[in-house]
């Protein structure tokens, strides 16, 4: 049987199958089902990294699938997320198909008996014919896949009864797959935005005090709750719809990356975003009083003054420490230069600007 771990999800869209399972009990069956269906041109949603999944992502997966394949195992009803997946299947009236390892067929009653008392209607899954599968050898597994394809899924109701699906399930054309990290991040970023949005009336952007410009916007001095901060303003007014979407994705990406590095001591911190100003996206972040390292070096050169060795050593240390912190977070900056190193009031150097960064 296959030992490959896809570590992937289908791109948000539609799938023929959603595989619901307990990872530590049914991972091998789930992976073999995934790969077998893939070879047959059937699209599947499978998350093999249970600790990284996001509730909104999984709910969307259930909603946009034609059939939910429940891989029943002893701990299935003890896992909160498995129970949620069944509840969503009932809510959206998605047909359910149940498969079980042939070695566990005598345990079906006991397994269903572990269903939470307050979700008793889910015991109705026992009214759906269980398809027995075996991974004993390739021949048995091929027969198992044939049985899965021939099985007739049923819709489980909130009364605990089952009924026929409203429509015949069509085969969905396979879709492009993306990594778990990218798929999950789509939903994490949206949540991060909701949790960190700053009301436009809570910040005053001092547009006459520009701190610097770049290809991705202009940074201004700003005030929020009586404290000085920096506001990176990106204008979207002159962009068409496609360009605005692209710009917003880049903005989301930079903000999410900065949020993930907020505990780093030598990296500029981010405080939130302002989304209510027409034609503008605003990133609110830590203010570095002495500006960029580039500007500081230019000011020193203008007065023919070299940096003190101790300060130079300190700045080099700060930059190296900041990059080390980013590496520990799995962030690759990819654009380290004097313009992207900022100096605070105490001349502590901090890495900034994550437009080109990746994780």
Partner residues linked to 130 by β-bridges: 98
CB atoms within 10 A of CB 223: 15
188: which 2 tokens? 């994490």
CB atoms within 10 A of CB 316: 11
- The gap between the terminal CA atoms of the chain, to the nearest Å, is 32
How far apart, in whole angstroms, are the C-alpha atoms of residue 222 and residue 327? 30
How far apart, in whole angstroms, are the C-alpha atoms of residue 351 and residue 265? 10
Q: How far lies 72's CA from each of 54, 215, 272, 319, in Å?
A: 22, 53, 43, 52
Which one of 101, 335, 339, 353 is the catalytic residue?
Answer: 335
Q: Is there a catalytic annotation at residue 335?
A: yes
Q: Which residues of 290-312 are buried (b: 16+ CB within 10 A; e: fewer)?
A: bbbbebbeeeeeeeeeeeeeeee
Residue 218: name the closest of 228, 227, 206 by CA: 206
Q: Are 32 and 141 in contact (CB under 8 A)?
A: yes
Instruction: State the catalytic residues.
Output: 335
């Amino acid at each position: 049987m296959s030992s490959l771990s896809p570590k992937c999800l289908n791109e948000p869209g539609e799938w023929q199958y959603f595989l619901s399972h307990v990872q530590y009990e049914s991972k091998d069956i789930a992976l073999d089902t995934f790969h077998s269906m893939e070879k047959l041109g059937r699209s599947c949603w499978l998350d093999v990294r249970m600790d990284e999944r996001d509730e909104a992502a999984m709910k969307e997966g259930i909603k946009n699938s034609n059939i939910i394949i429940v891989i029943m195992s002893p701990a299935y009803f003890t896992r909160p997320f498995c129970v949620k997946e069944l509840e969503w299947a009932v809510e959206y009236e998605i047909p359910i198909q149940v498969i079980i390892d042939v070695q566990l067929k005598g345990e079906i009653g006991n397994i269903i008996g572990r269903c939470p008392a307050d979700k008793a209607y889910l015991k109705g899954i026992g009214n759906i014919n269980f398809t027995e599968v075996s991974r004993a050898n390739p021949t048995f597994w091929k027969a198992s896949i044939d049985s899965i394809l021939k099985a007739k899924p049923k819709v489980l109701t909130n009364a605990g009864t089952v009924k026929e699906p409203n429509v015949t399930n069509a085969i969905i054309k396979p879709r492009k797959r993306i990594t778990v990290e990218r798929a999950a991040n789509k939903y994490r970023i949206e949540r991060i935005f909701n949790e960190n949005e700053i009301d436009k009336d809570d910040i005053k952007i001092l547009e006459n005090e520009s701190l610097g410009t770049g290809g991705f916007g202009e940074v201004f001095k700003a005030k929020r709750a009586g404290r000085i901060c920096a506001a990176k303003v990106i204008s979207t007014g002159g962009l068409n719809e496609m360009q605005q979407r692209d710009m917003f994705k880049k903005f989301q990406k930079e903000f999410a990356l900065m949020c993930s590095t907020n505990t780093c001591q030598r990296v500029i911190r981010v405080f939130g975003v302002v989304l209510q100003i027409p034609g503008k996206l605003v990133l609110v972040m830590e203010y570095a009083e002495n500006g960029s390292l580039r500007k500081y070096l230019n000011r020193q050169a203008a007065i023919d003054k070299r940096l003190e060795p101790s300060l130079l050593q300190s700045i080099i240390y700060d930059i190296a420490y900041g990059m080390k912190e980013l590496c520990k977070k799995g962030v690759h900056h990819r654009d380290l230069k004097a313009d992207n190193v900022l100096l605070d009031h105490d001349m502590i150097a901090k890495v900034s600007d994550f437009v080109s960064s990746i994780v």
